Amino acid sequence: MKFINKLFETKNKHTKTNKNNQLESMNVLKSLKSNLSENIKFIKTAIGESSDIVIRELRAGEDGKTKIGIIYIDGLVDKALIQDSILRTLMLDIRKVRVESTISSKKKFFETLRDFVLPEGDMKEIQDFECLFTHLLSGDTIILIDGYAQGFAASSRGWEDRGVTEPNSQTVVRGPKDSFSETLRTNTALLRRKIKDTNLWIETKPIGRKTKTDVAIAYINGIANDKIVEEVRKRLNRIDIDGILGGGYIEELIQDETYTPFPTVYNTERPDAIAAGLLEGRIAILVDGTPFVLLVPALFVHFLQSPEDYHQRFDISTLIRILRYVSFFIALLTPSIYIAVTTFHHEMIPTLLLLSIAAQREGVPFPAVVEALIMEITFEILREAGVRMPRPVGAAISIVGALVLGEAAVQAGVVSPIMVIVVSITAISSFVFPAYNMAIAVRILRFIFMMLGATFGLYGIVLGLIAMVLHLCSLRSFGISYMTPMAPFNWNDQKDAIFRFPQWSMFYRPRLISQKDMIRQQNPKVEKPKPPQ
């Protein structure tokens, strides 16, 4: 038995060695050969005899002596398109083309096949295997002709995708209901539907040595700052990694500051939000395979704005924005202020409230900071469990878990009822943020402020706020100050920061972002309507 196992191991080693030697010898072969059999053999060996590769050989010409190879990857192509536009054409119309042995006739045959026989719109010539594999593994169909050291790559991409659905992460009451999908061309088409302008330029390049993921940058020429566009190109060109599987890879590799909880790259799955950013002079980064599109530069105020703000009246949008900023400070500071006041600053609490808190905490064995940490960590666990569980079960677990655990903890005397109220208000306020990554930043900083409040009281909280503001002012997103338009202060940009002025009053684009074609609309002279006679 051992002898048989050794025999099989030796055989497998020889097989792997022979295959590796073949691949090493084939790596030297860069350009296509004129022999169709050699080209097909090379392709099969390079892909490892994969079962999803389809190779079809046809005969063409008046005498049927010219061989043509059709190669594609099953599952990445539209088979109906290949059958109707490529195979049927080659099997019926190609026999009318006569092939001679002279070089000029061969060249004429190749040009005739490209210009008159094949009706496929997106047809590219290929002359080397690197270009061939890039097109083949992207869903294109490869057409090789025996006797020619070049071929065609016909566009036949047709894999299954999710389609355009309603966004899940940024829902709105009023506004468009479409969202990006995992297909790059679908996403660029959604942008083209929003902005029908020739100045909307889209540049695409593959990133990733193994995945070769298509990454596109979109911007409006004449509005976007040329320096920021060039900076985006440089940062994308510097990326040298095996694979890009989503927008998070790109975001982490191109962001200005790594060691900060605050996001400096905005992401969304809403086409209207990206279109609005492009009209302000920002640059969008689309990654094939993910429905989330990146937008740079991203400012602090950008993460507290919702696309719905521009579909409501300006007074309603302003009120909701102020509510978000209030919720930001509630979610950030409520537990730490409660800890600081109940631990160090009893004189700040009204007498009746102080007696009520003391009565509630009479049987609690832990100090306020331990009590707050227990409740906060428990709620964070419940929130993550609700997100990861299936949707019908996740909401039930979050609600039942919070109610049951909170009531049981109060009855057992582990926490006081007022602590449950504090944690509940904090958790509800954290759900107000339109951007999920900004809510995560607040969740991280909340624990830091809790430690400062438990150690130094309100003095520690004030020092923490000063340090946070200094850190925010030091951040930049592609060269733009993160706290724009508050620091540096710009009056015109205040019309769309904390407050939202009416649309007819916002004449200019953001000054530090665009710096080109600043006028968004002309100043109309609005006349009051006259009453009917």
Q: Count Cβ neighbours within 10 Å for each residue of 25-54 and write b for 16 or more, e otherwise.
A: eeeeeeebeeebeebbebbeebeeeeeebe
DSSP 493-521: GGGBTTSB--GGG--B--TTTT-SS-B-S
User: Of 48, 54, 28, which Cα lies nearest the Cα of 142?
Assistant: 54
Q: Is the pLDDT of residue 15 over 70?
A: no
C-beta separation of 491 from 481 below 8 A:
no
Which whole-number Å values give the CA distances from 139 to 74, 135, 383, in the listed order? 9, 7, 40
In this predicted structure, which of 56-65, 93-102, 225-234 has the lowest mean pLDDT? 93-102
Over residues 330-374, the pLDDT tens digits come to 999 999 999 999 989 888 888 888 888 888 888 788 888 998 998
User: Of 424, 441, 423, 448, which Cα lies nearest the Cα of 372?
Assistant: 423
Average confidence (pLDDT) over 381-386: 80
One-letter amino acid at 340 equals: A
Query: What is the dihedral sign for C-alpha 323, 325, 328, 329?
Result: negative
Model pLDDT, residue 182: 87
In this predicted structure, which of 295-304, 347-356, 381-390 has the lowest mean pLDDT? 381-390
Query: What is the dihedral sign for C-alpha 36, 37, 43, 49?
Result: positive
Question: Rounded to whole angstroms, how far apart are CA atoms 354 and 522?
Answer: 59
Q: Is the pLDDT of residue 294 over 50?
A: yes
User: Of 126, 136, 143, which Cα lies nearest the Cα of 36?
Assistant: 143
Q: Is the pLDDT of residue 22 over 70?
A: no
Question: Rounded to whole angstroms, how far apart are CA atoms 294 and 279?
Answer: 15
Alpha helices (H) along 344-416: 351-360, 368-388, 391-412
520 CA to centre of own chain: 28
85 CA to centre of own chain: 34
One-letter amino acid at 242 equals: D
C-beta separation of 126 from 153 below 8 A:
yes
Q: Is the pLDDT of residue 29 over 60?
A: no
Q: Is 326 helix (H, G, I), strand (E, B) or coil?
A: helix
pTM of the model: 0.82
Q: Is 270 helix (H, G, I), strand (E, B) or coil?
A: coil
Gyration radius (Cα) of the chain, Å: 32
Tokens in use for 487? 């620091």
Model pLDDT, residue 93: 56
Tokens in use for 231? 């900076």
C-beta separation of 483 from 472 below 8 A:
yes
Which has more pLDDT, 256 or 513?
256
- 218: which residues sit within 8 A by CB, 6+ positions away? 188, 191, 200, 201, 202, 203, 274, 278, 283, 284, 285, 286
- Count of all residues that appear for the chain in the document: 533
C-beta separation of 173 from 183 below 8 A:
no
Model pLDDT, residue 7: 41
C-beta separation of 141 from 70 below 8 A:
yes
Q: Is the pLDDT of residue 467 over 70?
A: yes
In this predicted structure, which of 9-23, 100-114, 283-297 has the lowest mean pLDDT? 9-23
Provide the 10 A C-beta neighbour count for residue 65.
11
User: Of 505, 439, 498, 177, which Cα lies nearest the Cα of 311?
Assistant: 177
Q: Is the pLDDT of residue 226 over 60?
A: yes
C-beta separation of 232 from 214 below 8 A:
no
Average confidence (pLDDT) over 192-204: 91
Model pLDDT, residue 106: 54
DSSP 57-100: EEEESSSS-EEEEEEEETTTB-HHHIIIIIIHHHHHTGGGS---
Which has more pLDDT, 60 or 30?
30
H or E element at residue 31 = none
Q: Is the pLDDT of residue 145 over 80?
A: yes
- 263: which residues sit within 8 A by CB, 6+ positions away? 298, 303, 435, 437, 438, 441
Average pLDDT of the residues of the chain: 82
Q: Is 464 helix (H, G, I), strand (E, B) or coil?
A: helix
Over residues 242-260, the pLDDT tens digits come to 989 988 899 999 999 888 9
Q: Is the pLDDT of residue 27 over 80?
A: no
Domain ranges in the chain are 31-154, 184-298, 310-481
Average confidence (pLDDT) over 164-178: 82
First to last CA, the chain: 109
User: Of 494, 452, 447, 442, which Cα lies nearest the Cα of 472?
Assistant: 442
User: Of 215, 283, 202, which Cα lies nearest the Cα of 244?
Assistant: 215
Q: Is the pLDDT of residue 404 over 90?
A: no
Model pLDDT, residue 35: 86
